[in-house]
Amino acid sequence: MRPREAQPNLLVVVADVGDEVAVGPLLAELGEAIRTLTAGTDARLLGLPPGDLTITVGVGPRLVRLAGPSLPGTTDLPEFDRERISPAARGGDLLLQVCAGDAVVPSVAAAALLDQAGDRIRERWRQAGRRGSTVAVNQDLTAPRNVFGFLDGIVGPHTTAQQRRDLWLAGPPPVAGGTIAVLRRMELDLRRFATLSVSDQEAVFGRRRDTGAPLSGGTIASDPDLSAKTPDGRYLIPADAHLRRAHPATVGVGLMLRRSYSIDEPAPGLLFISFQNDIRTFTNTLTRMDDGDALLSFTTTTASATFLILPGFDQLPLGATMFD
Amino acid sequence: MRPREAQPNLLVVVADVGDEVAVGPLLAELGEAIRTLTAGTDARLLGLPPGDLTITVGVGPRLVRLAGPSLPGTTDLPEFDRERISPAARGGDLLLQVCAGDAVVPSVAAAALLDQAGDRIRERWRQAGRRGSTVAVNQDLTAPRNVFGFLDGIVGPHTTAQQRRDLWLAGPPPVAGGTIAVLRRMELDLRRFATLSVSDQEAVFGRRRDTGAPLSGGTIASDPDLSAKTPDGRYLIPADAHLRRAHPATVGVGLMLRRSYSIDEPAPGLLFISFQNDIRTFTNTLTRMDDGDALLSFTTTTASATFLILPGFDQLPLGATMFD
């Protein structure tokens, strides 16, 4: 199984589920609505062609713990540095991630899902995002340009073997083929970043701004050489460059699939979204970044949540057997 | 002069200007920043190609009154029905409307303008918007689909003669070639609208949902026939249809150029933007709509503002002579 190529338009809704709500039937109903929405047979689409509409549903740690304390996805995200997160924007029971090529379809599809759930859920926050213009990394992968002008999401589990190892959850149903999502909404300090020279900006990321090539050389598709040095002994990819600090080889974790989207509100920034089959891939990476990643000083995180992403479904209801 | 075709991505920032600020120099600096941003020579673009980046600057009624009580644009918008507007989202001194084909350029260009203005201005609210997929009305005009699935902005001053009559301000500098903008952010009740049958939805708008043709017949490009009736004497375009209520012939005003954008946050809806050379074109139309437009019951307006749009500039500084 391969993840679908990211669509240009995203809407994320994070909600809580009421204490008395039967979660299994709620998920089954959402699954049925997803089926009719993506098939284009749901009147709530108001005649809009769904196109490549893709809806991903996640269940927050509180609900996963209720379903089974030994399931993956029971762990809340800890607090990290450089956070300014209101209580409403930390955690949550339910993730609805709606992506499409069309610019208005995500809003309309999300409204249909919220209509389906009715007063069983309570919206906490929502965030729209867009992928900037993209550059091809290889024939299967494109990287979008973020509001810092840099290309994003280049390193990741892009081969089937890597995805089996680091992306998809193994084990028995109901989680086999699912994954763990981390969402972090960040404001980015464009004003201060723009005062840097281009080469200083590139030193922050560890890549060329125009091409996305690592500072160790090659093309955007080249593996960064973290040991490469200048003739006078300095690292080509600086010690505090994001590419080095966040690299799986530096952190000692598996690969995360990063599917971040640029945002305009409440301030210019990024909705960072990563998928991995072990939340420690994310938490260990960010802990390592907190300890000296040059990029972090330009970020303020304003929302944070993790979810168990339910496997795609063809026959079974969404979340089948998990909340029996 | 023809207005440029609308770009798919928009970011609007509404700000106040400090009491002690010299407005003329501020506008001149913003104009110079607009010149370097649109030329792609501004380092604050972070290497992003500006493409069709277009920046429109407007001055709110308070500042226009300071510049000259006889200028157009001195009139604040009154309150209307179905408003839920916080004090911060009503009015404002300065409009920065940033549009581009690229999804991240508006945020980056707006950040550069805010950087230029520094603490001379204070942001009140911002709103990102997107044009849905479009349908060609004629060779010069496309209409985007909104979150109700209907096509928007079909009737308007689309000929040069109509634009001279109803869109552009006449008279001496500094306003000749400018216009008056009205911005209204609206939440739309998708949930209730989706419970209507398609024909009931079409009766609300007065147009076919799929093609945009008026219910009096023809194509999307056809003039609506407001007097056309069924054999049993009912209007083809119902008495409370939006197309009839808001039609210039019904209201007795000129044409307004509507350039609305769909929004995802804080709720699905519309950032209505209209341009006209007389604010009464808007206020008389909305007064008439308040008195029985079927569409209005699905709307809640959450932001409202009007601005004198400064003429495009090639040689003169932006706003030249207005605040001397």
How far out from the chain centre does Cα A237 lie?
25
Contact (CB<8Å) A126/B266: yes
Q: Do B45 and A191 touch (CB under 8 A)?
A: no
Give A74→chain B minimum CA distance, Å. 30
The CA distance from B38 to B49, in Å, is: 9
Tens digits of residue pLDDT in A145-179:
999 999 999 999 999 999 999 999 997 778 889 99
What the block records as the tokens of A245 is 């600090």
Mean pLDDT for A89-104 is 98
The mean pLDDT value for A183-203 works out to: 98
How buried is residue A110: exposed, middle or buried, by Cβ count under 10 Å (0-12/13-18/19+)? buried
Residue B317 has pLDDT above 80, yes or no: no
Helix (H, G, I), strand (E, B) or coil at A26: helix
Chain A hits for B111, Cβ within 8 Å: 147, 190-191, 194, 268
What's the angle, vertex CA A276, arms to CA A274 and CA A279, rounded to 5? 95
Whole-number pLDDT of residue A311? 87
pLDDT tens for each residue of B195-235: 999 999 999 999 999 999 999 999 999 999 999 999 999 99
Q: What is the DSSP string of A40-54?
A: T--GGGTT---TT-E
pLDDT digits (tens, 9 = 90+) for B251-274: 999 999 999 999 999 999 999 999
Which residues neighbour A34 within 8 Å (Cβ) at sequence distance 6 or greater? A55, A57, A113, A318
Say yes or no to pLDDT of A206 above 80. Answer: yes
Whole-model pTM? Answer: 0.95
Please give the residue that has the higher pLDDT: either A317 or A35: A35
Q: What is the pLDDT of residue A309?
A: 94
| The pair of three-digit structure tokens given for residue B183, joined into one six-digit string | 């911005």
Going by pLDDT thresholds of 50, 70 and 90, the confidence category of residue A304 is very high
Which chain B residues are closer than 8 Å to A200 by Cβ? none
Whether the per-residue pLDDT at A1 is higher than 70: the answer is: no
Instruction: Choose, out of A12, A36, A44, A46, the residue to mutate when testing the contact with B (most B CBs < 10 Å).
Output: A46
Judged by CB atoms closer than 8 Å, whether chains meet at B210 and A112 is answered as no
Cβ contact B46–A112 (<8 Å): no
For the record, the structure tokens of A182 come out as 């981390």
pLDDT digits (tens, 9 = 90+) for A8-28: 999 999 999 999 999 999 999
For residue B47, list chain A residues with Cβ-Cβ distance below 8 A.
149, 198, 209-210
**pLDDT tens, residue by residue, A131-149:** 999 999 998 899 999 999 9
CB B250 within 8 A of CB B226: yes
Contact B46 A110 (CB under 8 A): no
Check residue A312 and give its pLDDT.
78
Per the CB < 8 A criterion, the answer to whether A147 and A270 are in contact is yes
The pLDDT of residue B314 is above 70: no
**Cis-peptide, bond into residue B266, ω within 30° of zero:** yes
**Looking at residue A315, what is its pLDDT?**
58
* B11-59 confidence digits (pLDDT tens): 999 999 999 999 999 999 999 999 999 999 999 999 999 999 999 999 9
Which pLDDT belongs to residue A19?
A: 95
Per the listing, tokens 């080095």 go with A244
**B127: pLDDT strictly greater than 80:** yes
- Which value does ipTM take for this structure? 0.95
Nearest CB partner across the interface for A149, out of B48, B127, B209: B48
Nearest CA in chain B to A210: B47
Structure tokens at A10: 């995203």
Q: Which of A104, A111, A148 sits opposite B191 (nearest CB)?
A: A111
Distances (CA, A) of A285 to A83, A256, A280, A290: 16, 10, 8, 9
Give the nearest partner residue to A132 out of B102, B147, B198, using CB atoms. B102
Contacts 24+ apart (CB under 8 A), B285-291: B285/B246, B285/B248, B285/B251, B285/B253, B285/B256, B286/B80, B287/B80, B288/B245, B288/B246, B288/B250, B288/B251, B289/B242, B289/B245, B289/B246, B290/B80, B290/B81, B290/B82, B291/B245
Provide mean pLDDT across the span A20-43: 96
Asked whether residue A314 carries a pLDDT value surpassing 90, the answer given is no
Q: Would the pLDDT of B151 be above 70? A: yes
In this complex, which of B11, B191, B262 lies closest to A107 when CB atoms are compared? B262
Mutate to test the interface with B, among A45, A53, A99, A108 (most CBs of B within 10 A): A108
Query: Residue B316 — very low, low, confident or very high, per pLDDT cuts 50/70/90?
Result: low
* pLDDT recorded at residue B312: 77
Average confidence score pLDDT of chain B: 95
Question: What is the structure's pLDDT at B257?
Answer: 97
Question: pLDDT at residue A320 above 90?
Answer: no
The residue with tokens 């980046």 is: B53
Pairing of strands B134-138, B141-144: antiparallel
Which of B98, B108, B196, B270 should one mutate to test binding to chain A, selecting the residue with the greatest count of A CBs within 10 A?
Answer: B108
Name the amino acid, one letter, at B48: L
Strand partners, B182: B274, B306
Which pLDDT band, with edges at 50, 70 and 90, does B1 fall under? Answer: low
CB contact under 8 A, B111 and A9: no
Distance of CA B119 to the CA centre of its chain: 27
How near does any CA of chain B get to the CA of A252, in Å?
A: 32
- Under CATH, what is the fold of the domain B9-309? Alpha-Beta Plaits (3.30.70)
Mutation target vs B (from A37, A104, A187, A188; most B CBs, 10 A cutoff): A104
Task: Work out the minimum CA distance from B8 to partner chain A, whole angstroms.
Answer: 9
